[in-house]
Amino acid sequence: MSGALLKKPLRRKPARSSLFVWAGALAAIVAVVGFARTFFHPLITGTFSAHPAVYIHGAFLFGWVALFIGQAALVRRWRLATHRKVGWAGLALAVGVVASTMVIAVMASRRIAAGGAAAQANSELLVIILEMFVFSSLVGAAILFRRRPETHKRLMLLALIGALGPAWFRFRHYFPAVENPVLFYSLLLADSVILLAIATDLRAGRGLHPVYLYAGGAMVAVHCVEVFAFPTAGFQFVADRVAGPLI
């Protein structure tokens, strides 16, 4: 019998889902289009001027999107060792996203408060604090479950979805006629990506993953609190005591 016949057939590696690559591409499009009128176009035309912290903040946020796309592509190509090595850069980026977001939020809140709207400044800053708490929790959980890829990648996807809220909200500049843009863009449209991820799993016969049910459900619940409780006295009470001392 010839040696060729004794060779074992090559095993093909199972195909990886393309959901996370496409989700990263969608995130990049949303981020670029969302900030096109308020950042990219003025920046290109030389009419944009801001505190250096704003540029740093933008670099961290777009770096986070780029990292997600790159990491998803590495997994798709089965370059898992490289994926794990690069992944630790995500921790530094996540810290940068949170720190720069808080710096920008405090600066903006102080300007609003100086204009005589201290209550509004406190409430808006509390929203940012809640968002960064959710983002940090998701990223922290993703790191904790890094050896459980099915859980890890879904937590990272939720963190990406949550980070895009401000970009989605800026779509109001393109469609100003939309009533209640906070509800439509920041909640319904932004969080609808979770439904697409769930639908992809269901179509593949994987069922509803606990990450989407519990972590995703908690994230949507926080967003509902931000949208519906924002104008209430209870939210203002908490904002004055949590965010007020930072302004």
Contact between 31 and 167 under an 8 Å Cβ cutoff? The reply is yes
pLDDT of residue 2: 47
What's the rounded mean pLDDT across residues 133-158? 97
Residue 138 has pLDDT above 90, yes or no: yes
Question: 184-206: string of b/e by CB count within 10 Å (b at 16+)?
Answer: bbbbebbbebbeebbebbeeeee
Q: What pLDDT was estimated at residue 14?
A: 53
Which pLDDT tens digit goes with each residue over 117-133? 999 999 999 999 999 99
- Examine the pLDDT at 192 and tell me if it is beyond 50: yes
What average pLDDT does the segment 153-160 reach? 98
Task: For 49-90, write each residue's pLDDT tens digit.
Answer: 999 999 999 999 999 999 999 999 999 998 999 999 999 888
Average pLDDT of every residue of the chain:
92
Tell me the per-residue pLDDT of 193-238, one tens digit each, with 9 for 90 and over: 999 999 999 999 999 999 999 999 999 999 999 999 999 999 999 9
pLDDT of residue 182: 94
Helix (H) or strand (E) holding 237: helix 233-242
Amino acid at 50: A
Buried b (16+ CB within 10 A) or exposed e, 130-139: bbbebbebbb
Q: How confident is the model at residue 1 (pLDDT cuts 50, 70, 90)?
A: very low
Which residue is listed with tokens 């998701």?
138
User: 168 near 185, Cβ under 8 Å?
Assistant: yes
CB 129 within 8 A of CB 156: no
| pLDDT value of position 18 | 84
pLDDT at 6 over 60: no
The domain segmentation of the chain, as residue ranges, is: 17-31+49-246
Q: Which of 26, 50, 24, 25 is nearest to 38 (CA)?
A: 50
